[in-house]
């Protein structure tokens, strides 16, 4: 009886889950305002043409694949974050696993994305200040929230639908 009362007290989007919810709402908005202007500028400034047209000074056959994959993956992550937010607010039992999957994928993607730039820019550092900041932010978030999703009684009591 006492365990049932405790479990009922832990149900709902309260406690530390409030911070998770805030992050879930902010992350897609941040993504839209960060990535879309960047990608728009690549195409409007003519950078895409300079990087992907044979014979131009900055041409490398890898650029088209690199930029295209980065755009596709970031748009996919944006869509996944919107879906994750839906899972969160509807308290679906898939939420914790999907959250962990996105957290791990995001960390791996940042590392692979930063490392792959060495193919076309071998003299550039793998982690420029912005990439390093994003890597640290993603790593810290993962170190905090993945164990929380795996061990929290509130998570287990809330995401049951």
- Encode pLDDT of 48-87 as tens digits: 999 999 999 899 999 999 999 999 999 999 999 999 999 9
Q: Which residues contact 58 (CB under 8 A, 6 or more apart)?
A: 50, 51
What pLDDT was estimated at residue 5? Answer: 47
C-alpha separations of 54 from 48, 64, 66, 147 in Å: 12, 11, 16, 48
Counted residue by residue, the chain has a size of: 161
The string of pLDDT tens digits covering residues 125-147 is 888 898 999 999 999 999 999 99
Q: Which residues contact 147 (CB under 8 A, 6 or more apart)?
A: none
The string of pLDDT tens digits covering residues 4-18 is 544 556 677 888 999
Q: Which residues contact 6 (CB under 8 A, 6 or more apart)?
A: 153
pTM of this structure: 0.86
């Amino acid at each position: 009886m006492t365990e049932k009362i405790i479990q009922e007290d832990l149900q709902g989007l309260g406690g530390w889950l409030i911070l998770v919810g805030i992050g879930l709402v902010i992350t897609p908005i941040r993504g839209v305002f960060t990535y879309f202007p960047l990608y728009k500028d690549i195409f409007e400034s003519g950078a895409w043409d300079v990087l992907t047209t044979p014979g131009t000074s900055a041409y490398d056959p890898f650029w088209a694949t690199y930029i295209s994959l980065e755009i596709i993956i970031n748009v996919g992550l944006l869509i996944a974050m919107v879906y994750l937010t839906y899972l969160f607010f509807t308290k679906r039992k898939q939420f914790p696993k999907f959250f962990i999957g996105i957290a791990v994928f995001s960390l791996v993607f940042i590392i692979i994305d930063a490392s792959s730039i060495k193919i076309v820019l071998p003299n550039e550092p793998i982690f420029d200040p912005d990439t390093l900041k994003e890597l640290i932010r993603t790593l810290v978030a993962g170190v905090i929230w993945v164990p929380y999703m795996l061990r929290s009684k509130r998570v287990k009591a809330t995401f049951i639908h």
